[in-house]
Structure 1
């Protein structure tokens, strides 16, 4: 799998990655 797209939301708490196969993964920052 090769990541073809990376986007952050406006406040940087969420990160979404996507590949050419249509898979999207969303990561959420965990407060320390």
Structure 2
């Protein structure tokens, strides 16, 4: 995980959602597929 531990401790759900959004964005740019 590249997230800082402080983020996971304070906003675990928010961090997970942010990871999903970031993963989808990277997937659209790199793979060219929609999330």
Aligning the two structures, in what range does the TM-score lie when normalised by the shorter sequence?
under 0.3
Higher RCO (C-alpha under 8 Å, 6+ residues apart):
1
Bigger Cα Rg: 2
TM-score by length of structure 1 reads: 0.18
Structure richer in helix, relative to its length: 2
TM-score by length of structure 2 reads: 0.19
